[in-house]
Amino acid sequence: MPELPEVETTRRGIAPFCEQETVRRVTVRNPALRWPVPAELAARMEGRVIRAVERRAKYLLIRFDDGSAIVHLGMSGSLRVITDDSPLMTHDHIEVELASGTRLRFNDPRRFGCWLWSEDPDHHALLASLGPEPLAPEFNGPYLYRLSRGRKTPIKSFIMDNHTVVGVGNIYANEALFKTGIHPKRLAGRISLDRYHRLAEAIKETLSAAILMGGTTLRDFVNSDGKPGYFAQSLLVYGRGGEPCRECGEPLREIRMNQRTTVYCGRCQR
C-alpha cells in the first residue's frame, strides 16, 4: 500500500501541473471504487480552478474555491501526469483533463482507492479525527509521552494508530523503532520521555528521507511520472528478516503483529 512518502511524492509530482489550472473535463470510466464515485463529481470539478493540491495523512486534497476532491490511492492506485497521447491502460478509472491539455489519470487495479467530494474536507468523517502530521512541529517527544501514559498498547501499534499520528505505516514504523533501539512489542506506557524524543525525531528523519528518495517501491506503486521510488534500497530492517543486523550482525527476527510483518533486532532493540 502506498504510504505517506509515496502519497507526498505524488502530491509534489502533480501539483505543478494542476495548481491554478482550470478543469476542462472529468471522465469517470469506472465509479466502483472503495466507495462509489459521487455522480456529481464531474459537475463539481469541471469549469473550476484548482487552487491547491494538498495532503492530509494518506489522502490527497484537490482544493477548489467551493470544496475539494478527496483522493486516496488505496492499495495499488497511482496518479499519473499525462502530457502526450499515451493510450489508456486497463485500470485507468478516472481522468481529469485540464485546460492546458495535461491530464491526470487515476489507475487502480484493485479498486480500493477513492474519489469523493466534500465542501468542508477538513471536517469530513475520513479526516476529522486524525492525529497530527508526523512532520509538523506539534508532533514531538512530549506529545507522544503525554498521550502514551497508562497505555498498554505495543509501541509499534501505538505509532501506527492514525489517532496518535498519521502516516506512520508499517515500513516506516519498523525503521524508526530500529533506529531508536525500541522493541516493537514494548508497551507504549513504559517508554521514557527521552526515548520518545528520539523516536519522534527518528520518525521525522525516516519519512523525510523517504520523501526525498521518492518513496518506497513495493509491488504496485509508481509515482506521478511513472518512475518508482528508491528508498527501499536504504531499508535497515523491513524486508530483511533473517539477514544480519547492520549494527551488531545478529540475524534479524521476523514476526507478525496485527497481521503486519514486523522485523527487529533482538539484541539492539529493547
pLDDT tens-digit map of 8-25: 989 998 999 999 999 999
Sheet architecture: strand order including 59-64: 52-56, 59-64, 67-72, 114-118
- Examine residue 94 and state whether it is found in any structural domain, yes or no: yes
| Same domain assignment for residues 97 and 29 | yes
Distance CA 24, CA 49 (A): 9
**pLDDT bracket for residue 189 (50, 70, 90):** very high
- Examine residue 224 and state whether it is found in any structural domain, yes or no: yes
Distance CA 65, CA 48 (A): 8
Per-residue pLDDT of 137-185, as tens digits, reads 999 999 999 999 999 999 999 999 999 999 999 999 999 999 999 999 9
Tell me what percent of the residues of the chain surpass a pLDDT of 90.
83
Write out the binding residues. 91, 110, 151
- Examine residue 46 and state whether it is found in any structural domain, yes or no: yes
Distance CA 252, CA 268 (A): 10
| Same domain assignment for residues 66 and 97 | yes
* Overall number of domains in the chain: 2
- Examine residue 42 and state whether it is found in any structural domain, yes or no: yes
Q: What 8-state DSSP symbol labels residue 33?
A: S
Is the pTM of the predicted complex or chain greater than 0.85? yes
Distance CA 68, CA 53 (A): 9
Write out the binding residues for DNA. 91, 110, 151
- Examine residue 197 and state whether it is found in any structural domain, yes or no: yes
Kindly list the catalytic residues: 2-3, 58, 260
Number of CB atoms found within 10 A of residue 183's CB:
18
Distance CA 223, CA 172 (A): 18
CATH number at residue 203: 1.10.8.50
| Same domain assignment for residues 192 and 100 | no
CATH number at residue 27: 3.20.190.10
- Examine residue 185 and state whether it is found in any structural domain, yes or no: yes
| CA 60 to chain CA mean position, Å | 9
Domain containing residue 86: 4-123
